């Protein structure tokens, strides 16, 4: 993936071509941001890129994620380190926005959920993901990257081929159907509980059941029944969370 033109144009292209990676930072929608993965052989690094709309044109700022020195990119060029800037904005891979929920499609059904984390927290100091297969699905139907870090494995080509399916919009339109349940105390991770089959616009079915972190399933831990999970207080309906996006 190589973008052409000036560095300023390449930044504009990133925000135009990858809306799934963009987070809006202010109420007016004038400041937006994304996290970009840069790979160099077996090594990888992350950068943050922001876009700020001005009266005449947009300006961009880039820094090593999560808090490096800021490089300003205007229509006239970058303020420093042109080689680094060029590498990031012409060859970097945008990462889906923090909290994005994708499904892995296999045989007309979603066999696993993938939650993307791209906001710096103590729990997630680098961007990553949680792969959560549907309990009871054979492991050969799991995503092939279960157990691998996000860096080096995220693929927009797989997304465009329909293997990764964005589920934020579907969940937003089906309230009281997809819930996030806190099971960290007993299992070490949370569970996503789906109360009924729902079909994606692509024709794949997000099936009723429990979507569980892959390590929990491989360890053979006892997973509570769907009915037990849905009876718990404090479970979160994900529809309102995604409806504002």
Distance, CA of 124 to CA of 115 (rounded, Å): 12
Residue 127: what are its φ and ψ, rounded to 5°? -55, 140
Predicted confidence at residue 213, as pLDDT, reads 98
**What is the reported pTM?**
0.89
Predicted confidence at residue 132, as pLDDT, reads 98
Contacts of 133 (CB under 8 A, 6+ apart): 111, 112, 139, 141, 142, 143, 146, 211, 212, 214, 217
Residues recorded for the chain:
245
How many Cα atoms occupy the beta-carbon half-sphere of 16 within 13 Å? Answer: 8
Residue 168 banded pLDDT, cuts 50, 70, 90: very high
- The chain-wide mean pLDDT, for the chain, equals 89
CA dist 187 → 116, 181, 222, 223 (Å): 20, 11, 8, 8
Instruction: Give per-residue pLDDT as tens, 169-186.
Output: 999 999 999 999 999 999
Residue 161 has pLDDT above 90, yes or no: no
Predicted confidence at residue 180, as pLDDT, reads 97
Range in 53-62, 85-94, 115-124, 198-207 with the lowest mean pLDDT: 53-62
Alpha helices (runs of H) in the chain, residue ranges in sequence order:
7-17, 82-91, 156-160, 168-172, 184-187, 214-218, 226-230, 238-243
Distance, CA of 110 to CA of 122 (rounded, Å): 30
Contacts of 130 (CB under 8 A, 6+ apart): 114, 115, 117, 189, 213
Between these two residues, 236 and 4, which has the higher pLDDT value? 236
The domain segmentation of the chain, as residue ranges, is 7-95, 101-243
Average pLDDT over residues 117-126: 88
């Amino acid at each position: 993936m190589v973008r052409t033109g000036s560095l300023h144009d390449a930044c504009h292209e990133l925000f135009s071509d990858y809306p799934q990676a963009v987070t809006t930072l202010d109420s007016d929608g004038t400041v937006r941001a994304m996290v970009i993965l840069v790979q160099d052989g077996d090594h990888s690094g992350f950068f943050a890129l922001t876009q700020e709309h001005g009266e005449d044109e947009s300006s961009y700022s880039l820094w090593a994620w999560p808090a490096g020195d800021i490089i300003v990119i205007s229509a006239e060029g970058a303020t420093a380190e042109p080689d680094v800037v060029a590498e990031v904005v012409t060859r970097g891979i945008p990462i889906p926005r923090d909290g994005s929920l994708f499904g892995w499609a296999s045989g007309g059904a979603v066999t696993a959920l993938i939650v993307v984390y791209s906001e710096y927290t103590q729990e997630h100091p680098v961007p990553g993901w949680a792969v959560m297969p549907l309990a009871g699905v054979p492991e050969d139907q799991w995503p092939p990257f279960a157990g691998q870090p996000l860096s080096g494995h995220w693929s927009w080509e797989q997304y465009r081929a329909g293997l990764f399916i964005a589920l934020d919009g579907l969940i937003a339109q089906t309230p009281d159907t997809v819930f996030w349940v806190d099971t960290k105390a007993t299992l070490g991770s949370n569970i996503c509980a789906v109360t009924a089959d729902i079909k994606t616009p692509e024709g794949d079915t997000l099936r009723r059941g429990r979507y569980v972190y892959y390590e929990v399933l491989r360890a053979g831990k006892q997973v509570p029944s769907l009915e037990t999970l849905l009876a718990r207080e404090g479970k979160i309906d994900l529809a309102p969370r995604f409806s504002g996006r």
